[in-house]
A and B are shown apart, each in its own frame.
Chain A
Amino acid sequence: MKDYFYLIPIAFGLGLTALTAFMWSLKAGQYDDLDGAAERILHDETDAPIRTTQPGR
């Protein structure tokens, strides 16, 4: 019985973390462009024009 006192909160906390992470990613627009994200990984990150004109992205 004593095990529950830390096991259940841990299980519950982990689940809650996953839920929060999903909600955050949804809100941050990570699912807005699934096709684009797959292609963007191939982009050359040192490309100056995109980087300088997009601070904060």
Chain B
Amino acid sequence: MGCCGSGAELTAALPEARSSDEEVLLASRIVADGMRQTDLSVPTMHCGACVRTIEKALGGLAGVQSARANLSTKRVTVRWHFDDGPPPFVKTLSRAGFEAYLFDVKSDKEDGALSELIRALAVAGFASSNIMLLSVSIWSGAEADTRDLFHWLSMAIALPALGYSGRIFFRSGWRALRHGRTNMDVPISLGVLLAFGMSVYETVQHGPHAYFDASISLLFFLLIGRTLDCMMRERARLAVRSLVQLAARGAFVVQADGTQVYLPVEEILPGMSIMLGAGERVPVDATVSKGDSELDVALVSGESVPLRATVGSTVRAGTLNLTGPLTLVATAKAGNSFLAEMIRMMEAAEQGRSGYRRIADRAAALYAPVVHVAAFLTFIGWMVATGDLHNAITIAIAVLIITCPCALGLAVPIVQVMAAQRLFKNGIMVKDGSSIERLAEIDAVIFDKTGTLTSAAPRLVSAEHIDSASLSLAAALALHSRHPYSQALVEAAAGLTPSPVVFDDITEQAGFGLQAQSGATVYRLGKPSWALASPESIVGAASVALTQNGQWMTGFCFEDKLRTDAAVAVVKLKQSGLRVELVSGDRKEPVGLVAAALGVPYRSGVTPNEKVARIKALSAAGQKVFMVGDGLNDTPALGAAHASMAPASASDVGRCAADFVFLRQSLLAIPLAVSVAREARRLIRQNLALAVAYNVVAVPIAIMGLVTPLIAAVAMSGSSILVVANALRLKGGEGIAASAAPGTISAAAILEAAE
């Protein structure tokens, strides 16, 4: 069980979630009479032993009917009786050594698409293998009676399969046509339906050529591409959603009679009084009516230094309360809060990007008219030449069948699935295929500072020059605070011998620092002007001082800690011909320092609006911008940029807005993503060229009227295999997860074929 040990330390550091019961209730749903279901996300579950520990721990709780852990999605589903409140799920799991977060089932809506595709794929696989079986005997020269019987049988199999599996394409093609557009599904639907219709006519007329096999195996091939594509998006969505939820789900509201009620965020109205403990996030925009604390605003404004909040100050939704409890008076509804405003700005900014048309659609827009015109001209030509209506129609339909974009339909998604797989292995999540296409086009990168280029946590400057006794004393004090500087001190003193000083009483004064007593001695750690008895005696530019009875002991300076490999990543990006820029909401000095360390131009004190404006200005100058950011204030910019990426630590909204999410610390993910995207673009172009080359060879044969069902089947499978094989060159290693289910199906198809 060695792999599960690390979780315990993590959980110990987390603040006690006092709102847990009410939050569990809010996030649960009723499944049966008196029975509720709660989904928990447990990111640290990663082996069979974890599964067992979790199920045992939760299953043993009173009121729990069943607990089932899912190792693939790292989720636990618990069903419980609602008699006396929810059982303590999160606490139980944290005692077992797992961090757990509530998982909102309500927002999980896209589940249906993938299972519909898999079912359609299974039916198409079954039908195509059976029809193929019958077709082989026809091709080998069955007598007329047998051939007719087999045609009828093929039709009986093909009709339900066409209805069931084909509706995915018909639906989407019809939708496009209704809006006056054309996409890849239009020629597909047309080709499949015409092939089927003509085959029915041939069968009734006892004709020799029926294309049931072509129309159904076409569906099968295309559904494979479609399913892989959907799986890729599904997996990224799951992985992104199971990250920690940062937004407050609700808050304790003080009623008129003094009691506290836990209300969901949407029900908090302006004027309500909210109790906010240390370690909780501000649910809506509010002003402070009581208390004194510091707020971590890194995710909201990009400033790395916490802000002081006292009576009368305004606080924004999404900021994290660090030091003391606060009483707030809500000033806006959730729908009007800073968070919601950012989402609105992001949606407005995204309008520009929605103009992007995917490569496959652009290809289809060119391809479909050409094919349809070619088929029509063939029909006219044969009518003029021979005057035989039946023959002319047969040949025109054969042209449509042979040009049906089987390879074209696979050419793009298969490469993107491979690219996503490679990125996934390197800890990068891709939202969808179009983001890979867009990433390949960029020529400028804009970085946010706090939380993106730098870790959100500051670092102690030149710790090795500080006297170790003072440092360990400071660390011993700092252990009692949640302030980022305190945590940096604790981290810096990790290897030192613990301080021999024993404190009697420690208090934290929000906005100033910590004060401790040890016998008659008073130690203070905090703002120099507060910690020192006489403010004139400040030494140097230290931002935190340690004093003994008001006398200077040591000063500490902090700087932003650059993420691992930030410098290397920036150099690599520059080498690949990209312009790199730093745009941050933080103050000039820290931004300037980071920018100088990386050697990039910078802008500081930028508002969310100005970030969007900067991106728009660059786009107007013809540049395609790739935005990398994490904060709420970056969200509109993430939406406005041509492509965007966020670290896993980003705000919920930011993570959902970004096209890519990287899960590891290293910023090398960015140059890697760019190079994979560019390689994918190259392969997509090759694949499209291959598909066109196939048509250049096959179409003349079809126009001449030489195509038989056998030739159609061989040509179509051949071109698809070629395109898939070309895409596999991107793989670089084995990739099992995404192809597991279709593999199962094709295994079933092989079994059937063998029977």
Contacts and interface: CB of A to CB of B under 8 A. Distances in A.
Contacts of A4: 146, 149
A36 B748 contact: no
Binding site of A, secondary structure by majority: helix, strand, loop or mixed? helix
Among A4, A11, A32, A34, residue most surrounded by chain B Cβ atoms (within 10 Å): A34
Interface string B117-128: 011001100100
B146 A1 contact: yes
Given A15-B126, A16-B126, A26 B115 contact: yes
A19 B48 contact: no
Interface string A37-57: 011101100010110011001
Interface in B84-123: 115, 118-119, 122-123
A6 interface: no
Interface string A17-41: 0110011001000011111101110
B752 interface: yes
Interface stretch (B65-73, B541-549, B696-704): B65-73
B536 interface: no
Nearest to A56: B66
A34 B69 contact: no
Given A33-B70, A40-B51, A19 B59 contact: no
Question: Size range of the interface on B?
Answer: 35 or more
Nearest to A13: B755
Contacts of B118: 26
Interface of A: 1, 4, 8, 11-12, 14-16, 18-19, 22-23, 26, 31-36, 38-40, 42-43, 47, 49-50, 53-54, 57
Given A1-B145, A1-B146, A34-B72, A53 B67 contact: yes
A39 B51 contact: yes
Interface of B: 47-48, 51-52, 55-56, 59-60, 64-73, 115, 118-119, 122-123, 126, 129-130, 133, 145-146, 149, 153, 157, 740-741, 744-745, 748, 751-752, 755
A57 to B, nearest CB: 7
A56 B130 CA distance: 37
B755 A14 contact: yes
A15 B66 contact: no
A34 B740 contact: yes
11 contacts: A1-B145, A4-B149, A15-B129, A16-B126, A22-B748, A23-B119, A33-B72, A36-B48, A43-B51, A43-B52, A47-B52
B26 to A, nearest CB: 25
A39 B149 CA distance: 49
A26 B66 contact: no
Given A1-B145, A19-B122, A33-B73, A39 B130 contact: no
B72 A22 contact: no
A33 B52 CA distance: 14
Contact of A15 (B68, B130, B740): B130
B87 to A, nearest CB: 12
B43 to A, nearest CB: 14
Contacts of B123: 19
Given A22-B745, A40-B51, A53 B72 contact: no
A49 B434 CA distance: 48
A40 B50 CA distance: 11
Contact of A18 (B67, B72, B752): B752
Closest 4 CB pairs of A and B: A39-B48, A36-B71, A53-B59, A35-B71
A40 B47 CA distance: 10
Contact of A33 (B67, B71, B130): B71
Nearest to B67: A53
Contacts of A19: 122-123, 126, 748
Given A14-B755, A33-B73, A50-B52, 17 more contacts: A1-B146, A8-B153, A15-B129, A15-B752, A16-B126, A19-B123, A19-B126, A22-B122, A22-B745, A32-B70, A36-B70, A39-B51, A40-B51, A50-B56, A53-B59, A53-B66, A54-B66
